[in-house]
Structure 1
């Protein structure tokens, strides 16, 4: 199979050529340390960072002084939760509200903070992965310091009503942190309109390099420093800045801002064609995530009576890259916590595959993948010992 079909853009994206070209300048031509501002090379690097900060800020309607560069989304999530928690320990605030379908960077951080006495409420979601706004309101107490809810789910693509959540948080005087790693470049983000206080970002989900991300921290928000040391990032995150990565992040954001609406429209059209193709060609499937309030590139189905890992292996033989809805690939026998939270039984959750399309995906690619999936699922179901044993299947 000569042609490759990369459909795992939620995991990472190809770094765009324009991004690479921009980054290369800061490896040899403009390699100065941005803290060394007494000579030109250092000043150039500092100016590049300042310019990058403004580009990212404008993209989410923030002030450039509210943007801090980090090593990626997981670091930003950790900083938001730990930073707010440690800043509020002596102020009678020890409660965080989050959901059962957050990224592990949030869930595991909450578990860590619970060792220090922080209380966590994990909100349920419905079968589409949506939270209940009334349940959110009821969960807020005088001790609540932070609500942390992702903009769009990385597995099933469901987009939460962030603006309404932000209004609730503001009304109750509670900070709102939003993990926007998957939403950046796919959904309009306006931190002012949506009442967001902290926002986690990552570059490699929208054509930028890995190992670089950012955090929006609204002016006035009290948060502990992430890394102690020098005065970089206005004293909150010490360490010499990776200028090449920062300018790469900004270039990816700049490119994403161009023809944003047309890009989203194209992806949405391809996504809908993909979803209809699966539904019309393969029986006994379940679309995971909200049917319309979902990321424009996310297609996640559960295929009953088959294992997701088996599908992935056969897809790879046909040059198709996707990901499983099961956590087995990370060494766990448990299916995805996200899928279980939506009410799927273990058997159905294990048979889930996520495709995430990208800029290079074509209608012809989707037609090929749908027909390939049809053949793979038919083949696996013929060999399945549990297809006619529902009790065994659900285990």
Structure 2
């Protein structure tokens, strides 16, 4: 195989050539500081930033003033959770999240618990679904914020964010949504959801690494997150520092492209994803994790029972796959997401994430089915565990 088949788009996406083209002037000739508005070059950079702010706002149904640029979702998550904990202590210190959230959320809450926060971690079903009745029952008078992702990064399972938004609005608590994996892939409209805060990252939608955006609702009620960085008053006085103009322009262009192409691209990816699952689940003892719940169109998490995912990935060196979140893929522990869904350690260690993207082709999927099938059969043929299973 001459080319790498890249099926790890949930970890990061390749930079779209159209995005790079939009960024290039601001990496070369138009290099001015966007805060230097006393001269023409600086004003041009500032205008480019504001154009991008409008493009991001349009993608998620926000207004330009509700968008703050960040270095990415991890920064935004830390900014929101730590800031809300600090600013809303007069109301309470209780937060609600889910056991299958991204480590950026879980680790930040672990830190806040040491500072005195109380956190309820909601369970999920075997298909990764939330119990909305349990969510509402968990809200207390001192509950400040509910932090629930839209799409799970490992399984692609989608939470019913509109229903969550209705609950949080009815109970007058803040709703923060990590939409890193869903923005640009499926429709996300902050007004329709009723979300108060939402984060996204450029590199998950074919933009550059190191830039993202945080939506903070300004309509109807003011949200106070506190100031992340002091120094120059940039980004609504929340995040001081020289703006990453090329990165912001890239995020804006990526958002614009996603908005135009989302419907057709989602359908194309869902078709390829279904073809992949149909081909691979012909293998015995092979199941799709999260199959009973709504999912992103590009993600399939599959357990190839009675083997190790690491062995499978080594056996297909020309296919880029993942055994879980890129943030924790180097650990030996089983996926916390799959464990929360009730999988055994063995099945969690046997699970592989296939995340398709804009540049995935039908030929890629056909080749992947063949290569993975051959490798799984080979590994199982030499596995005493598989032989014992077959003889039972």
Partner-residue secondary structure (3-state), 1:323: coil
RMSD: 1.5
Show the counterpart of 2:6.
6
- Any idea what the Cα deviations from partners look like across 1:325-356, whole Å, max 9, x if unmatched? 48897443211000000000000110011111
Show the counterpart of 2:27.
27
Q: Give the paired residue count.
A: 386
> Structure 1 unaligned runs (5+)?
391-395
Show the counterpart of 1:261.
263
> Structure 2 unaligned runs (5+)?
none
Q: Where do residues 84-99 of structure 1 align in structure 2 (5 Å cutoff)?
A: 84-89=84-89, 91-99=90-98
Distance 2:387 2:324 in 1: 23
Distance 2:325 2:346 in 1: 10
Q: Where do residues 233-382 of structure 1 align in structure 2 (5 Å cutoff)?
A: 233-280=235-282, 282-291=283-292, 293-316=294-317, 319-325=318-324, 330-382=329-381
Show the counterpart of 1:393.
none
Moved more, 7-16 or 381-390: 381-390
Show the counterpart of 2:168.
169
Distance 2:259 2:96 in 1: 32
Residues 302 and 210 of structure 1: CA distance in aligned 2, closer, same or farther (over 3 Å): same
Partner-residue secondary structure (3-state), 2:95: strand
Is it true that 1:18 corresponds to 2:18 in the alignment? yes
The answer to whether the 8 Å contact 1:328/1:334 transfers is: no
Show the counterpart of 2:36.
36
Residues 123 and 134 of structure 1: CA distance in aligned 2, closer, same or farther (over 3 Å): same
Show the counterpart of 1:192.
191
Distance 1:326 1:226 in 2: 26
Distance 2:31 2:326 in 1: 41
Distance 1:54 1:141 in 2: 37
Distance 1:180 1:143 in 2: 25
The answer to whether the 8 Å contact 2:11/2:325 transfers is: no
Q: Where do residues 172-183 of structure 1 align in structure 2 (5 Å cutoff)?
A: 172-183=171-182
Provide TM-score, normalisation by structure 2. 0.96
Q: Where do residues 97-246 of structure 1 align in structure 2 (5 Å cutoff)?
A: 97-219=96-218, 220-246=222-248
Distance 1:189 1:271 in 2: 21
The answer to whether the 8 Å contact 1:208/1:249 transfers is: yes
Distance 1:31 1:327 in 2: 32
Distance 1:254 1:148 in 2: 27
